A and B are shown apart, each in its own frame.
Chain A
């Protein structure tokens, strides 16, 4: 069915079409198999790369296809791919997340070294979370101890999307644990560095077409050139990254929600009970109307935020949190409703909607739980109002 179109330029229409064709021809048909096997979808990731989609969020100067900022591009592609499979799409979205610290805080040399590789399809990962530091990200215990002209990194990261599969990692570690949040720094690590290993692969409820692993650092030596920005700016880099990446999670949620609406409605017009399609019942029509309406409202907020980020220097924390929180809540509601529309069939793995429900759940949790998002929004509102009152 028709959805509002947020591809502004001709180039954006092309990237949307390329992503849409991939989603329909490759991701959607493979989704069930990867959901079962929980293997990393390498064949499809290579096709995403061959289609140039990793270039859409990277500047032309570094072999990308974006002019300057491009959260809008990233969101367009993420939404389309997520329609096909929210799990497989994460290989793309988590690469964007892992790349953002380099785009935000990298110097020219670092950008030249890493961005062209990512543009060409080398996947990346973002490593902040630890067993005891989730929402309280300032509580990380991984350390980077100064050693001559470099650092020695020790610690363990948990639940890292693309972990073990990615080649390039942006890793947050304490360079000065006594300073708390101001003592964190961000480093670029590469798979294969001595002492850099991987722990167990997680067995997840949803997004099983993606890989989530532990990263283990045992005396990993990195040079100063691997540090992004000045010492102590790591936490700021992480927060700025979330401002830009959360609309990506939101776009993933929108793709999942759109798919749920599409599946629910196309089922409802063919399923007959009491001699007529179940879609002829007003009770179900109202439910489907709400599903479609909420999904469009979420998309409007997400793409408005993406455009805001691309065109404003100042931080978008409030809008980014709103779009992530709203869109993921919508995705959760809409996918639960889609299962309801399909009734008993919806509950069966043979039909795609129960997977949508499982995939949607993570969008309310990662890159900051929706409680954290509401906290950010509330604090921003109070701060803005207090400033205006003065």
Chain B
């Protein structure tokens, strides 16, 4: 089975602060890590390979230093790393990014694509689904378990707020996974050595046949107006020790006062 895992290099968010003047993230000197949700995607890809045979190729779009993500993926069992990198990609939003990654996947060939449910920096959860849309293949998001998988179809459990649903899909398909899906392994010594020696293939806009006008800042329909921290949610009011009738009356009054009802 040809498995592609999409992975992103992100700043370690626990270390990131927001510049109160400009509202932008202060990224300088912040260590870069593999997006934590993608580590589950890598592990799941490696587990499927170990069960069914095949190859896991990890694909990342980013600047040259994002190569570190691919080497780390190889140290935990991925076979190959491909860095999709081009100055033309700079400033891509989720639409343009998924367009680029879809083109890279098409160039490489695949049976399934696995991605983390979202990246911890942007938190959009749009790139995985976007890639599936651009490729015109089925997608199942928030997968918490891959039950059955073969060359024809897969049966997976998709996490919902109040339970899960079982989804059957033909293959090729794209899955985004949640952290319940597995417990990622730690790097092995052989994996680390393979990672050090691995040749990371690089693909540019030309290599994957994307029009550089449709990607990057120019090709991105999203315009960032302002970056700000949302106001902290204030805790709700709590009334205790009231008789049920009293409580009901108080509740109705309060809701009426605040014009909810």
A interface residues (Cβ-Cβ under 8 A, vs B) = 10-11, 14-15, 17-18, 21-22, 25-26, 47, 50-53, 55-56, 65
Contacts and interface: CB of A to CB of B under 8 A. Distances in A.
B192 A14 contact: yes
Interface residues of B, number: 10
Interface in B183-223: 185-193, 196
B185 A18 contact: no
A59 to B, nearest CB: 15
Q: Name the residue in A14, A21, A65 with the highest tally of chain B Cβ atoms < 10 Å from its Cβ.
A: A14
A50 to B, nearest CB: 6
A25 B187 CA distance: 12
A22 to B, nearest CB: 6
Contacts of A10: 196
A22 B186 contact: yes
A55 B189 contact: yes
Contacts of A21: 186-187
Contacts of A26: 186
Contacts of A25: 186
Nearest to A25: B186
A15 B192 CA distance: 9
Secondary structure at chain A's binding surface: helix, strand, loop or mixed?
Answer: helix
B193 A51 contact: no
Contacts of B186: 18, 21-22, 25-26, 47, 51
Secondary structure at chain B's binding surface: helix, strand, loop or mixed?
Answer: helix
Contacts of A47: 185-186
Contacts of A11: 193
12 contacts: A10-B196, A11-B193, A14-B193, A17-B187, A18-B188, A21-B187, A22-B186, A47-B186, A50-B188, A52-B188, A65-B189, A65-B190
A22 B190 CA distance: 15
Closest 4 CB pairs of A and B: A52-B189, A14-B192, A51-B188, A52-B188
Contacts of A17: 187, 192
Nearest to B189: A52
A53 B190 CA distance: 9
B106 to A, nearest CB: 34
A47 to B, nearest CB: 7
Contacts of B191: 52
B185 A52 contact: no
Contacts of A14: 189, 192-193, 196
Contacts of A65: 189-190
A118 to B, nearest CB: 15
Contacts of A51: 186-189
A116 to B, nearest CB: 14
Nearest to A54: B189
Given A14-B192, A47-B185, 18 more contacts: A10-B196, A11-B193, A14-B189, A17-B192, A18-B186, A18-B187, A18-B188, A18-B189, A18-B192, A21-B187, A50-B188, A51-B188, A52-B189, A52-B190, A52-B191, A56-B189, A65-B189, A65-B190
A47 B186 CA distance: 8
A51 B188 CA distance: 4
A50 B185 CA distance: 9
Interface in B22-55: none
Nearest to A21: B186
A14 B185 CA distance: 16
